[in-house]
């Protein structure tokens, strides 16, 4: 008899954003008017930058002629894209990362979800609360979390976020091996300073731990004193893997391109305590289970780094950040304390009470979709997340509906 991986039975019935999509569909059936405005899942709404579209088109044309056609590409990504990433995203900011330490993929969700499988099943895992649910769920699937009791998994070290610590968690009191960090944070929009991040790097060096640093929202950082990459911190090459994405930066949620950085100097340890390069493990995993991102998509991503591409991406980010300002101001003027929205497309609103109840009330009264904080962990209770990814028109309509309903 074939048995299931019964770790799956420890998961909540469905993934947060699928759950929300179902509730919204049911609401629309019941109340088609006013039209729903989606400020829930962080999905971009604006077109790809023109520079990316032209590069995409030309690459498709190349694929249409025998002389320039390409079959399988390198699983790790084409050299042209890896070089552009290393130079622009890292070396230009003084971070020592080389092209051969970059693995191009089809999403940071997949990479942050898959990375755990190259580490020992008994590794002690530290996960912030609240945070993007993929880190926790994929460790549940892998059987690392123990049982779920009273809203938490027994085997996880939760790093609690609150208004008191500005949703930048303190170092754990107990020893851990793998630490997930996400800045600018999803869902809270909180950012970490260089000195706070240095404390995490020092902790990881001292305890031979690894930090899994999700920087998918770095493009929204406007305060130049904040780190965009963990590799801007001394020592990070020894202890950190970083995840980046073109999804939110350049509107690639439907186009799919991201990358993961695994420095060659990063070591994990064998059962006998010998250091082993993590790069070779991830390379083995990636080339066995992944066949690379399509050539036209990689050309489109490369165009993000052209002069015109950089300008267009900056305009795109500014567009969404204008929405973020509007949302933060509207919610604050209604008396709800907010964080985020300054260096992040997410505004984390303190509503008090049960966050799913607030979600339902908001949907019912205004047709506006947000994300309930409890979906990101128990410390998310009493909050909702509002996303700035929508048109100015929709965001401003959403805010007037909210003002009318809640003031």
C-beta closer to ligand MLT: residue 306 or 371: 371
Token pair, residue 386, equals: 């509002």
Contacts for 37 with CB less than 8 Å, ≥ 6 apart: 367, 368, 369, 390, 394, 395, 397, 398, 401
Token pair, residue 378, equals: 């128990």
Give the binding range for ligand MLT (CB under 6 A) out of 18-26, 35-43, 229-237, 310-318: 35-43
- Pairwise CA distance, residues 68 & 56, whole Å: 14
Contacts for 291 with CB less than 8 Å, ≥ 6 apart: 72, 75
Closest CB 168 distance from ligand MLT, rounded Å: 19
Helical segments of 64-133, H only? 79-85, 108-114
C-beta closer to ligand MLT: residue 76 or 245: 245
Closest CB 75 distance from ligand MLT, rounded Å: 22
Closest CB 217 distance from ligand MLT, rounded Å: 9
Reference 334, options 357, 366, 356, 360; nearest CA is 366
Give the binding range for ligand MLT (CB under 6 A) out of 40-48, 155-163, 190-198, 395-403: 40-48
C-beta closer to ligand MLT: residue 90 or 132: 132
C-beta closer to ligand MLT: residue 255 or 306: 255
**Contact status: 42 vs ligand MLT (CB under 6 A):** yes
Closest CB 253 distance from ligand MLT, rounded Å: 7
Instruction: Confirm if 40 and 387 have CB atoms less than 8 A apart.
Output: yes
User: Residue 13: exposed, middle, or buried by beta-carbon count in 10 A (0-12, 13-18, 19+)?
Assistant: exposed
Closest CB 370 distance from ligand MLT, rounded Å: 11
- Residue whose beta carbon is closest to ligand MLT: 42
Closest CB 375 distance from ligand MLT, rounded Å: 9
Helix (H) or strand (E) holding 248: helix 247-250
Closest CB 149 distance from ligand MLT, rounded Å: 26
**Contact status: 383 vs ligand MLT (CB under 6 A):** no
Q: How many residues bind ligand MLT (CB under 6 A)?
A: 6
Site string for ligand MLT, 155-194 (x = CB under 6 A): -------------------------------x--------
Give the binding range for ligand MLT (CB under 6 A) out of 41-49, 93-101, 231-239, 300-308: 41-49
Give the binding range for ligand MLT (CB under 6 A) out of 36-44, 117-125, 326-334, 395-403: 36-44
Instruction: Confirm if 242 and 105 have CB atoms less than 8 A apart.
Output: no
C-beta closer to ligand MLT: residue 109 or 342: 109
Token pair, residue 86, equals: 């290393």
CA 113 vs CA 110, 202, 292, 376: distances in Å: 5, 25, 17, 15
Instruction: Confirm if 37 and 362 have CB atoms less than 8 A apart.
Output: no
C-beta closer to ligand MLT: residue 214 or 381: 214
Which residues in 39-176 belong to E strands, given as ranges? 102-105, 125-129, 148-149, 152-153, 156-160
C-beta closer to ligand MLT: residue 216 or 236: 216
Closest CB 80 distance from ligand MLT, rounded Å: 26
Closest CB 178 distance from ligand MLT, rounded Å: 20
Closest CB 107 distance from ligand MLT, rounded Å: 7
Closest CB 387 distance from ligand MLT, rounded Å: 6
- Cα torsion through 298, 304, 306, 309, rounded to 10: 140
Instruction: Confirm if 330 and 402 have CB atoms less than 8 A apart.
Output: yes
**Contact status: 380 vs ligand MLT (CB under 6 A):** no
Site for ligand MLT, residues 102 to 141, rule: CB under 6 A: 109, 132
Instruction: Confirm if 73 and 295 have CB atoms less than 8 A apart.
Output: yes
C-beta closer to ligand MLT: residue 186 or 355: 186
C-beta closer to ligand MLT: residue 221 or 233: 221
Token pair, residue 321, equals: 């950040």
**Contact status: 41 vs ligand MLT (CB under 6 A):** yes
Instruction: Confirm if 350 and 382 have CB atoms less than 8 A apart.
Output: yes
Residues that bind ligand MLT (CB under 6 A): 41-43, 109, 132, 186
């Amino acid at each position: 008899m074939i048995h299931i991986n019964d770790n799956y039975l420890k998961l909540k019935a469905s993934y947060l954003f699928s759950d929300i999509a179902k509730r919204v569909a049911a609401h629309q059936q019941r109340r088609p008017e006013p039209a729903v405005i989606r400020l829930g899942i962080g999905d971009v709404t604006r077109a790809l930058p023109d520079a990316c579209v032209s590069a995409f088109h030309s690459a498709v044309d190349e694929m249409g002629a025998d002389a320039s056609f390409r079959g399988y590409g390198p699983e790790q990504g084409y050299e042209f894209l890896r070089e552009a990433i290393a130079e622009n995203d890292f070396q230009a900011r003084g971070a020592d990362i080389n092209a051969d330490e970059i693995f191009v993929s089809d999403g940071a969700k997949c990479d942050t979800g898959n990375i755990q499988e190259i580490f020992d099943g008994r590794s002690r895992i530290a996960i912030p609360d609240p945070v993007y649910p993929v880190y926790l769920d994929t460790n549940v699937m892998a059987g690392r979390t123990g049982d779920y009791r009273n809203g938490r998994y027994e085997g996880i070290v939760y790093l609690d976020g609150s208004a008191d610590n500005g949703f930048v968690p303190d170092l754990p009191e107990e020893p851990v091996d793998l630490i997930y960090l996400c800045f600018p944070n999803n869902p809270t929009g909180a950012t970490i300073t260089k000195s706070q991040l240095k404390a995490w790097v020092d902790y990881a060096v001292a305890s031979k731990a690894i930090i899994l640093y999700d920087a998918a929202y770095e493009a929204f950082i406007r305060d130049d004193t904040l780190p965009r990459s963990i590799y801007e911190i001394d020592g990070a090459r020894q202890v950190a893997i970083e995840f980046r994405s073109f999804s939110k930066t350049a509107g690639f949620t439907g186009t799919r391109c991201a990358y993961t950085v695994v420095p060659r100097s990063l070591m994990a340890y064998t059962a006998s305590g010998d250091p082993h390069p993590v790069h070779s493990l991830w390379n083995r995993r990636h080339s066995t289970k992944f066949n690379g991102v399509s050539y036209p998509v990689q050309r489109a991503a490369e165009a993000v780094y052209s002069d015109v591409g950089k300008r267009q991406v900056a305009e795109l980010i500014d567009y969404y950040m204008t929405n973020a300002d509007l949302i933060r101001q509207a919610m604050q003027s209604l008396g709800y304390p907010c964080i985020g929205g300054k260096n992040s497309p997410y505004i984390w609103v303190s509503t008090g009470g049960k966050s799913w109840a607030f979600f339902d009330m908001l949907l019912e009264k205004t047709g506006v979709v947000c994300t309930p904080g409890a979906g990101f962990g128990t410390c998310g209770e009493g909050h909702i997340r509002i996303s700035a990814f929508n048109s100015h028109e929709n965001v401003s309509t959403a805010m007037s509906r909210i003002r009318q309903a809640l003031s």
